Structure 1
Amino acid sequence: MNVQSKEANLPSISDYYSATQLRADRWSALRECIESMHMHGIEGRQGKKLLATAEQLFDALAPIEKYWAFPGAHTFDMLRRQLDLRNVEELSISVRRVARALTSGAYRRRTIPIGGEEIDSEDYEDESTLAPEARALGRPYFEVLIVDSVNEHQERFLRNNLHRVRRSEDPFIYEPVIVPSLEDALIGILFNHNVQAVVVRPGLTLKSKNVLPILKQYLTQMADADDVDGLQPSDYGPETCRLIAKVRPELDAYLITDRSAEDIAGHDLGKCRRVFYNQEDFLELHLNILRGVNRRYKTPFFSALVEYSKQPTGVFHAMPISRGKSISRSHWIQDMGAFYGPNIFLAETSATSGGLDSLLEPRGPIKEAQEYASRAFGSKQTFFATNGTSTCNKIVVQAVVRPGDIVLVDRDCHKSHHYGMVLAGANVVYMDSYPLHEYSMYGAVPTNEIKHHLLKLKAAGKLDRVRMVLLTNCTFDGLVYNVQRVMEECLAIKKDLVFLWDEAWFAFARFGPTYRQRTAMGVANELRVSLRTPEHAKAYEAQQKKLEGADEDKLLKTRLLPPPDARVRVYATQSTHKTLTSLRQGSMIHVNDQDFKGEVEQAFHEAYMTHTSTSPNYQIIASLDVGRRQVELEGFEFVQRQVESAMAIRRAVAAHPLLQKYFKVLTAGDMIPEQYRESGTESYYDPDKGWSDIWDIWTRDEFVLDPTRVTLAVGGTGWDGDTFKTKILMDKYGIQINKTSRNTVLFMTNIGTTRSSVAYLIEVLVEIAHELDDLLDDASKMEKRSFENRVSALVNEVPPLPDFSRFHPAFRDGDETPEGDIRRAFFLAYDEESCDYLNLDDKLMARLEAGEELVSASFIIPYPPGFPILVPGQVISTEILAFMRALDVSEIHGYRPDLGLRVFTKDALKALTKK
């Protein structure tokens, strides 16, 4: 393929979801174009086309490169001059070196010679191919954004002075990027993922002169744009620091000012780490920048474990595997030692001394590591767990909920919550999510459903017993709540309500500005501030007057405001190992509870002791520590690339005519009913309209769709979701996925997903579509009819999803509210004489249709969908039985095909009812 057609086939700028993708592709295209010019010359028709293409690519890259230290504005201008002078040979060498250094990351380790006369012996070195040991020896690289409107001479002065104060003993190396304005600073920190620190100087201006739409779109994330326009020039610096903290709180900001300390003290400087007054002490600034990055780089427990592994010790405690002795002395398990290497065994111990610490009573490096995690994730306290989020959920529930407390739970939550309710002795109100019958999955619980139950409990005089609202955010399928709205409206009804947000699949969200506004910890911190403002108190009083004497219908239609004295009591459980870097079962509990110290702390530690092993895996703890370091330093970059990968899949499927015949990527319009999408947006990408404004969607809508979850409808292939996952994706192509429904499969991008992985997935889907085309071309009339019948059964004949029926009166406290004592039902089932088994046949359906009341004695959990469709004490409805009979999945936990469905006997229920 020649370069002209290659460039012509590149998507236009408007087709790109992010400027990062645009930059990478344009440098690659520029390299190909210049090399072709060098090979074929610049004369004639082809040469003129190549020159025009090169000029277009330089024009596209010019406004982008201002925000990056490599190759840097000066080098980029030099390359452009080489093109103007038609110095094609040298330009070809220079552009090739820049493009390869950007692709490989080589510029992060060494200086890249640009000129043709300079020798670059490592031109082909790719950072990803280096051994971990080699990469670990190098000094980590980052970039510092300096915000100051300076001329070329002043810019050179700044750069030279920062280079001059470098020292060989510095733990890191950085390069400066200089931008002139507040808006450019915001574009820079949202676009350039290498930035780790921002220096705000007195000479900055307000507005950016950059007009490239794909860069200007980053400014939509600046929620205070209207207020910024009214700033005085003297306020530009403090406001820049505040907005940096709002958009990317993990970054270090430094303010250089010529104003008095008294003036600065009255400003909100966000998380500004240091203010310098009227000075050009570059060494002091340099040392502070390094110190700030090192603060996030530190890994207390991982470092302690590394040091412990180097100590010569005599092992006279448990664990023969410690120091690898039981392996090195063995004649039969040397392959295990060879596979894992020595370090994992050198770092294995049951000791809590020698520089290490106890997870159950941390006082040293584990305590410090948890404090660093708390800072990173925005909590007040963070606790590590080494046996997964299932255990984290039980710890929180047991710590907060007392026997007899009422807990509102989304019915399709993870099974650990249901078992947690049993352990805590909660009276459970199960709330129904809106169903997506067509795709055999549930959505999320509407805010009005939660409010309705709270108002019903309030009317019944039971509000004092309501303890907690428990919701999954985001759901396995990627549905994300408007967390702030849910908590504000619930607190308006009960001001000390506790919230547990299961964020098992959402740990990464803290490190994307769009995502952060819908995280439990992010909203908790916002509420702590907003509830105490005079403006909120005034708005609350005005609303109370309007709602005086209002009935439930009016309260449901009103966006309720919480009282100013409402308590912010929020817990989040996260599977670090699912979406960030950690060994399997590494999880965290984040706490942001104003009453934790006085009311919950002792109970929490008892629950933590109950569920946490006295022999926790130190490798998991160390990986949690390192995973925290990673996201504080490069979480923004990785989450950005994760979203870009998912958006690329969406665009590829939506734009490919062959894939559209058999597949469909489900959009927000497919998965979220219209009444919950205030923005009116149906899809993140439309082939005709391009990309939607994701920031606007996530700011306004009641529910949004996490773009990193790509649900692909596969019913059009004639295969059900489980078969497509196992027989096609896994067995044939080696593609692994977690979740399916009857007619969908879920692809999840993560921080490790590469563009190559995305390309492979698209290639596989295209190959499958081609094979189906060939199969149908050669099929007989009967074979085609058989295929159409299978498709129709998967697409049109989908069994409706059942709602939660109700708890039997034997497990309820009156009929006016729906809560049930799930613990009583669970333990009643321990008595064999109280239970019976019934076959799932027509006779059973006839009994239900005749009005007989049958009650489940166990949890019934089919995989998929993976949550209980029956819980102990729940009345079995005809809808639930019909759904169970229609299931064609291989796993149904709690159901024994050889015996049938386990139910309580009439005598057992009668005995309880009499009591």
Structure 2
Amino acid sequence: MSHPKEPEPGKALSDFATGALPGIGDYYSATQLRADRWSVLSDVAEELAVHGVDGRKSKKLLKQAEDLIIALTPIETYWAFPGAAAFSYMHRLLEQRKIADFSHAVRRAARALISGAYRRRTIHLTAEESENEDFEDEASLSPDARALGRPYFEVLIVDDLNEHQERWLRSRLQNARRPEDAYIYEPVIVPSLEDALIGILFNHNVQAVVVRPGLALKSRNNVKLLNKYLRRGGADEDVDALDPEEYGAETCRLVHSIRPELDTYLVTDRSVERVAAQDLGGCRRVFYNQEDFFELHLNILRGVNNRFKTPFFTALKEYSQQPTGVFHAMPISRGKSIARSHWIQDMGAFYGPNIFLAETSATSGGLDSLLEPRGPIKKAQEAASRAFGSKQTFFATNGTSTCNKIVVQALIRPGDIVLVDRDCHKSHHYGMVLAGANVVYMDSYPLHEHSMYGAVPIREIKHKLLELRASGKLDRVRMVLLTNCTFDGLIYNVERVMEECLAIKKDLVFLWDEAWFAYARFNPAFRQRTAMHSACGLRRKLRDPERKDQWIAQSEALKDADDEAWLDTRLIAPPDARVRVYATQSTHKTLTSLRQGSMIHVYDQDFKGETEQAFHEAYMTHTSTSPNYQIIASLDVGRRQVELEGYEFVQRQIESAMSLRRAVTTHPLLSKYFKILTLSDMIPSQYRESGVEAYYDAKRGWTDTWDYWATDEFVLDPTKVTVTVGGTGWDGDTFKTQILMDKHGIQINKTSRNTVLFMTNIGTTRSSIAYLIEVLISIAKDLDDLLDDASKMERRSFDARVKSLVEHVPPLPDFSRFHTAFRNGNTSEGDIRSAFFLAYNEDNCDYLDLDQALQEKLETGEELVSASFIIPYPPGFPILVPGQVISREILTFMRALDVSEIHGYRPDLGLRIFTADALNAVAAQLK
């Protein structure tokens, strides 16, 4: 069957009866296109069944059905259901005008795709086969019923076969199946290396790839929306120069680099010994020529089972079923204290029995200990390490705040200098206090008009390091601590940051707070900007002999250069630099886990020698001896999920956010009151080398070149959508609580003075996005009605509110400096611990109102020093820390704030500051 010519972007395939079907160019992903085309095809087939081939609408309906079939033809080659044979059968029915049979087959296929029924059983498309079949909707099944079914997946087989050879291959795989197999799979056969790359990026059902010797190089499809996948996540490498004998090995390597969680198997007719010695990525097995299909079948199942295993969750389930007599300090264990109660039966009814059956203590035996794991918890953490690409992974049951403190305490000694992102999470600031670090705060670039900070430019980080080098303090610098990605979605070029810093000090440790970025590992573009992936890549780079020569040449060129030259140069790390990287992730925030489930990922070359014991002590310090086993089990299951379907869920998460972007940008009423902040709004041009300005533009459509993710200093996480609401006359906090939550039941977290942040996650559905858009349209219509009925004075009041939110926004202050009483020398690091504990003595502190008198004190040159953390919410970052000098800019910003809460500030007393006597006493001790 010939491939269709793709319609122009923005145009529908045909003048469909619904009049609402978007054109191909309106879709961000082929997955959404496929779902919508099948839905419309089902509707058209239904109408054809009613009107027949001779009705007034029949000609138009037949043309629509033909167009849809042609449009779906190249798409369906990458999916096992309904499959090439069944799809050809439906097309023949249409050509032969067997409309009743065509309508029946299409409706059943479409319904099975929507419900997921094809994952549980064979779907019969003919009326004779299906008339007695009980058609279950997956969504209507109970969790227990769904859990009993065998999980379904698809295997991508790469080989250029004719129709006869393909039938033979399918039959051999079919014959290898056994009733006792734990999983069920169907093959998808594609002819070329390029089709394999499209397939693993387009078809989220694929869990294994079998590469056979007859594969071709290039894809024969000409659908732009499919070929976009070749440009995503590094799948656009030039393969034209490959020799045919290299196709198989290169396919395995590329599949592993793009989706490392997939199992790959290579079948070759060449010397298996020589092939196995090549770089095959993560290829699990090499088979010679006419392979044993049963052995291949077993390997495919075993590979999926390795990812499916949940050591601790399985152990916990087994434990819950054991008869146990409870004689330890947990009355709730086994639910006994609830079952015997006359007053708390509702708790047992609400939670169900299993949560109590699985409740126990680590000291009672039968399971593993989080503090000293040797059994299923240890195995679960090893599986998580494999999934997230770390050397070691540790579970935490009390959130990433504790993870941050564990890492800091393990690595920082009193007096060590740490470079910290000033607007990072408060747990880092408190971690510095506990560790006794001397803190150098780094300023992010400000986004004044939206009352939010961006991220710390690499030039700022290098400047602080060079400043400390010039002062002879570089030996004391221990760590660089940054947030990636930020709450607002700004993502660093992680590998570049680490390499340039290591070029100045080769043994730096990096802590990346990835609280909001745990899902990034499971998307090819995102992965390249994660801490663990970047650490692995940097280590490989440092081993490259060519890189060593480049470093020698650069070192010679910079030998007598001033700091400005170092700042202007893209620095290369020395080959003997140590890769020491830590990442903390809030699994519960962005993946599947119970509240407070978090992980620490480690890629530290010196962990075993220098850090392991200190890390163990820090872990013991901050981890409860009574950890919640349900949280640990949820971390184990969450890991299983992302290894098996993380790519699918993250892709849908991105698609949802992109749909929201397009809807708000193109809707005339929404764009009147709301604006989605684009890349150019969030990232100044000097940090966007590519010049890319937006993910979606109403005139140009989608920006789908992901190359800039490898080059630009900062990129924007598309799943985080910041919307300006100043045009509504409501500030961000009011819009969040009184409009979105109270009126419409929409929950969000982050706001600024004039923005709200909508974050999609792996649980976001298209229905959720549709509801949000409906709500925003409703709000906009209400505002239109309100302004239309408003008096002249009411309209003037509204305009004034908008102006105050959009134009009269107080500028964000930079970090001022630490007072000299908490500094040692002329560099910017400060002893935040001494300042923090000095405030424990109330005689050392005083309070001042935020009034004109305080402003006048500053104007006369009097130094006022904060005795506590001051954190306005929103925006939620500390504008003052203990020991910091209060600047006029900070005071102006605080007085202009109209937020509901300022943590650390008491309105009844004022701003807490150190007395002059307390500061003088500390300064005297330093002399």
TM-score by length of 2: 0.97
8 Å contact 2:744–2:775 — kept in the other structure?
A: yes
Q: Deviations over 1:395-449 (max 9, x none)?
A: 0000001110000000000000000000000000000000001111000000100
CA distance in 1, matches of 2:635, 2:236: 37
8 Å contact 2:234–2:524 — kept in the other structure?
A: no
CA distance in 2, matches of 1:689, 1:573: 38
1:845 aligned to 2:855? yes
1:898 aligned to 2:908? yes
**Match in the other structure for 2:10:** none
CA distance in 1, matches of 2:243, 2:277: 15
**Match in the other structure for 1:601:** 612
1:764 aligned to 2:741? no
Q: Deviations over 1:642-701 (max 9, x none)?
A: 000000000000110000100011111111101111111111001111111241231221
Match of 1:388, as an amino acid? Answer: G
**Match in the other structure for 1:731:** 742
Q: Deviations over 1:817-850 (max 9, x none)?
A: 1000000000000111111011110100111111
**CA 224–718 in structure 1, closer or farther in 2 if over 3 Å, else same:** closer
Q: Deviations over 1:579-608 (max 9, x none)?
A: 000000000000000000100000000000
Among 827, 835, 841, the residue aligned to 1:825: 835
**Match in the other structure for 2:894:** 884
Judge which range, 162-171 or 391-400, deviates more: 162-171
CA distance in 1, matches of 2:784, 2:68: 39
8 Å contact 1:144–1:176 — kept in the other structure?
A: yes
CA distance in 2, matches of 1:6, 1:588: 51
Match of 1:463, as an amino acid? Answer: L
Judge which range, 372-381 or 544-553, deviates more: 544-553
Among 439, 459, 464, the residue aligned to 2:470: 459
**Match in the other structure for 1:560:** 571
Among 869, 873, 885, the residue aligned to 1:863: 873
**Match in the other structure for 2:883:** 873
**CA 634–222 in structure 1, closer or farther in 2 if over 3 Å, else same:** closer
Cα deviation for residue 82 of structure 1 reads 1.1
**Match in the other structure for 1:527:** 538
| 1:22-41 equivalence runs, <5 A | 22-41=33-52
1:155 aligned to 2:169? no
Cα deviation for residue 543 of structure 1 reads 2.0
Q: Deviations over 1:184-226 (max 9, x none)?
A: 1000000000000000111111111111011111111364755
Match of 2:859, as an amino acid? Answer: E
CA distance in 2, matches of 1:361, 1:910: 48
Judge which range, 477-486 or 42-51, deviates more: 42-51
**Match in the other structure for 1:73:** 84
Please give the secondary structure, in 1, of the residue aligned with 2:265.
Answer: strand
Among 697, 702, 720, the residue aligned to 2:708: 697
8 Å contact 1:184–1:208 — kept in the other structure?
A: yes
**Match in the other structure for 2:643:** 632
Hey, which bits of structure 1, 4+ residues long, moved more than 4 A? 3-8, 120-124, 224-227
**Match in the other structure for 1:908:** 918
**Match in the other structure for 2:123:** 112
Among 367, 381, 385, the residue aligned to 1:370: 381
Cα deviation for residue 125 of structure 1 reads 3.1
**Match in the other structure for 2:3:** none
CA distance in 1, matches of 2:862, 2:70: 76
CA distance in 2, matches of 1:463, 1:10: 61
CA distance in 2, matches of 1:61, 1:384: 45
CA distance in 1, matches of 2:366, 2:240: 53
1:215 aligned to 2:233? no
CA distance in 2, matches of 1:666, 1:526: 32
8 Å contact 1:7–1:53 — kept in the other structure?
A: no
1:97 aligned to 2:116? no
Match of 1:860, as an amino acid? Answer: I
Please give the secondary structure, in 2, of the residue aligned with 1:384.
Answer: strand
1:417 aligned to 2:460? no
Cα deviation for residue 4 of structure 1 reads 4.5
Please give the secondary structure, in 1, of the residue aligned with 2:57.
Answer: helix
CA distance in 2, matches of 1:156, 1:353: 57
Match of 1:865, as an amino acid? Answer: P
| 1:17-416 equivalence runs, <5 A | 17-43=28-54, 46-119=57-130, 125-221=136-232, 223=234, 225=236, 227-352=238-363, 354-416=365-427
CA distance in 2, matches of 1:582, 1:347: 17
8 Å contact 2:421–2:442 — kept in the other structure?
A: yes
Judge which range, 499-508 or 259-268, deviates more: 259-268
CA distance in 2, matches of 1:281, 1:222: 34
CA distance in 2, matches of 1:121, 1:24: 27
TM-score by length of 1: 0.98
Judge which range, 296-305 or 887-896, deviates more: 887-896
Cα deviation for residue 808 of structure 1 reads 0.2
Match of 2:315, as an amino acid? Answer: A
Among 673, 690, 709, the residue aligned to 1:679: 690
CA distance in 2, matches of 1:616, 1:122: 48
8 Å contact 1:204–1:237 — kept in the other structure?
A: yes
**Match in the other structure for 1:480:** 491
CA distance in 2, matches of 1:399, 1:245: 34
CA distance in 2, matches of 1:580, 1:38: 44
| 1:770-781 equivalence runs, <5 A | 770-781=781-792
CA distance in 1, matches of 2:236, 2:451: 42
CA distance in 2, matches of 1:224, 1:537: 28
**How many correspondences in the alignment?**
912
CA distance in 2, matches of 1:261, 1:454: 51
Q: Deviations over 1:257-308 (max 9, x none)?
A: 1221332143101001111112331110000000000000000000000000
CA distance in 1, matches of 2:210, 2:258: 16
Cα deviation for residue 814 of structure 1 reads 0.9
Among 424, 432, 436, the residue aligned to 2:447: 436
Please give the secondary structure, in 1, of the residue aligned with 2:433.
Answer: helix
Cα deviation for residue 44 of structure 1 reads 5.9
8 Å contact 1:386–1:616 — kept in the other structure?
A: yes
8 Å contact 1:308–1:354 — kept in the other structure?
A: no
1:580 aligned to 2:588? no
Cα deviation for residue 487 of structure 1 reads 0.7
Cα deviation for residue 538 of structure 1 reads 1.9
Match of 1:287, as an amino acid? Answer: L
CA distance in 2, matches of 1:204, 1:694: 28
8 Å contact 2:532–2:603 — kept in the other structure?
A: yes
Unaligned 5+ runs, structure 2: 1-13
CA distance in 2, matches of 1:134, 1:352: 35
Please give the secondary structure, in 1, of the residue aligned with 2:757.
Answer: strand
Unaligned 5+ runs, structure 1: none
RMSD (CA atoms): 1.2
Please give the secondary structure, in 1, of the residue aligned with 2:669.
Answer: helix
**Match in the other structure for 2:663:** 652
Cα deviation for residue 116 of structure 1 reads 2.4
